[in-house]
Copies of this chain bind each other. A is one copy, B any other.
Amino acid sequence: MKEYSKSKLNRIKRGQNRGTYDVEKINTILDAGFICFAGYIYEGKAISIPTAYGRKGNKIYLHGSQANRMLNALLEAKEASITVMHLDGLVLARSGLHHSVNYRSVTLFGSLKKVENDSEKEAALECVIDQMIENHWDSLRPMHQVELDRTLVVEMTIETASAKIRDVGVNDEPEDYDLDVWAGVVPLKQIAEKPISDHQLKEGIEIPNHVMEYYRQNM
């Protein structure tokens, strides 16, 4: 599949020129982050909660404690929608109306199931950790059974999705270009600072290569 099909649910109405249903572009946006906002309904109210995710193919993995209110509400609903957004800049126009931001965002819709099998659970948690920082899982101590038992893992199968990307300059009303008003873009980005080793770290342990590599790629 190269593109998600459009439905009433995921069809982009506002700013259609910024919209895409391209699977690869959507995966690229998902893989640039590891925090999503999941929407769930609690006593008739829609609540958005940030949570970590991992992606493998068309699957998204979420996790939490067995009593996690959001995950249990999602499992009960058997479906979920999650959104990921990267903020790339302030777009400062000559008029208030044309102010915008540059960004990349994805909204996914999918069906959910609880991951019950231990080895599948562990693979899902590996996916979540490595989404946060590549090649990290293999450097950690193996999970204890009791930890696995205490963890609720949810698998979402992406059924439909859309992305919106804005990455251009200012668009003002034609007659406004003559005004004595400044306009432009202030680029924004998320950066990493130098890793800080735990003060209780055993002597002689260096910052691992994959952590330094993450820092260099994001500094």
Q: CB within 8 Å of B: which residues of A? A: 8-9, 13-14, 35, 37-43, 45-50, 52, 64-65, 67-69, 77, 79-83, 85, 87, 90, 92-97, 99, 101, 103, 105, 107, 109, 125-126, 129, 132-133, 136-137, 139-141, 143-144, 147, 150-151, 169-170, 172, 176-202, 205-208, 211, 214-215, 218
Q: By the criterion CB–CB under 8 Å, are B92 and A141 in contact?
A: no
B198:A45 contact, CB within 8 angstroms: no
17 pairs, CB–CB < 8 Å, chain A vs chain B = A35-B85, A37-B83, A45-B77, A46-B46, A46-B81, A48-B48, A49-B83, A50-B85, A50-B105, A177-B200, A182-B205, A183-B197, A186-B193, A186-B196, A186-B215, A188-B190, A188-B192
Q: What is the bound-complex CA distance between A185 and B218, given in angstroms?
A: 14
Chain B's closest residue to A185 (CB) is B196
**Are A46 and B40 also in contact (CB < 8 A) when A99-B129, A181-B141, A199-B169 are?**
yes
CA distance A179 to B200 in the complex (A): 11
Residues on B with beta carbons closer than 8 Å to the beta carbon of A206: 182
For A85, the closest partner residue in chain B by CB is B50
A129 engages B96 (CB within 8 Å): yes
Contact of A81 with B205 in the complex, beta carbons under 8 Å = no
Given A41-B46, A176-B141, the answer on whether A211 and B186 have CB atoms closer than 8 Å is: yes
Residue from B101, B172, B190, B198 within 8 A of A190 (CB atoms): B190
Task: State which of B14, B87, B184 has its C-beta within 8 Å of the C-beta of A201.
Answer: B184
Cβ contacts under 8 Å, A14 to chain B: 64-65, 67-68
User: Does the CB pair A50–B136 fall under 8 Å?
Assistant: no
Contact A13 B67 (CB under 8 A): yes
Q: Which residues of B contact A141 (CB under 8 A)?
A: 94-95, 176, 179, 181
| B residues less than 8 Å from A97 (CB atoms) | 143, 147, 150-151
In-complex Cβ contact of A95 among B147, B186, B189 (8 A) = B147
CB pair A39–B47 under 8 Å, yes or no, is yes
Q: Which of A48, A92, A93, A101 has the most CB of B within 10 A?
A: A48
